[in-house]
A = this chain, B = another copy of it.
């Protein structure tokens, strides 16, 4: 993850990865047949951790609104260094998804799963309220939320100094709730 985040996929050579992990190039290829396999493993790892973060927050959320907020917080309320590296790695992965078919498939699978999750969360929220949004509108809102989250990762990594401090989660919640 560190090599991919700091060097990018192409420049994260097996030698560099091996060094960062205090292993030898030969051993890397003993466990992963190709370099792409390492990236795939990383994608799944990051996704699992993100899901775990959401599940942890879900446990204390009792209302639909609270559950939606839990999702947003799990996605955007990051803080420490490990998170920063993970976000940088995720942006790298997103860029690789353009070019590598297998990476794209897995990436799209994760996007689809998150879209489904968001659709469910939003549907619950609208039911609790007046329920003025129809299914296509909810799906559009879910898609937009996902885009915003991905865009926040992107801007946090490449232009973090220009963004307001810790604005992301709070602002997205306000935006979505005023729209529901």
Q: Which residues of A contact B (CB under 8 A)?
A: 7-11, 88, 91-92, 94-99, 104, 107-108, 111-112, 115, 136, 139-141, 143-144, 146-152, 154-155, 157-159, 161-164, 167-168, 170-172, 174-176, 178-179
Q: Contact at B171–A143, with CB atoms within 8 Å?
A: yes
Contacts of A112 in B (CB 8 A): 159, 162
CB nearest to A112 among chain B residues:
B162
- Listed by A's residue number, 14 A-B pairs whose Cβ atoms lie within 8 Å are A8-B10, A10-B10, A10-B11, A104-B159, A107-B159, A108-B159, A108-B161, A115-B162, A146-B155, A147-B151, A151-B152, A175-B176, A175-B179, A179-B179
Q: Contact at B155–A104, with CB atoms within 8 Å?
A: no
Q: Could you tell me the dominant secondary structure of chain A's interface residues?
A: helix
Contacts of A111 in B (CB 8 A): 155, 158-159, 162
Given contacts A107-B159, A115-B162, A150-B155, 5 further A-B contacts (CB under 8 A): A144-B172, A147-B152, A148-B148, A149-B151, A151-B152
If A144-B167, A150-B155, A154-B150 touch, does A95 touch B92 (CB 8 Å cutoff)? yes
Q: Contact at B163–A143, with CB atoms within 8 Å?
A: yes
Contacts of A10 in B (CB 8 A): 8-11
Of listed A140, A149, A161, residue having the most chain B CB within 10 A: A140
With both chains docked as a complex, state the minimum distance between the C-beta of A171 and any C-beta of chain B, in angstroms: 4
Contacts of A174 in B (CB 8 A): 179
Contacts of A170 in B (CB 8 A): 140
If A108-B159, A158-B108 touch, does A175 touch B144 (CB 8 Å cutoff)? yes
If A143-B163, A167-B144, A179-B174 touch, does A98 touch B155 (CB 8 Å cutoff)? no
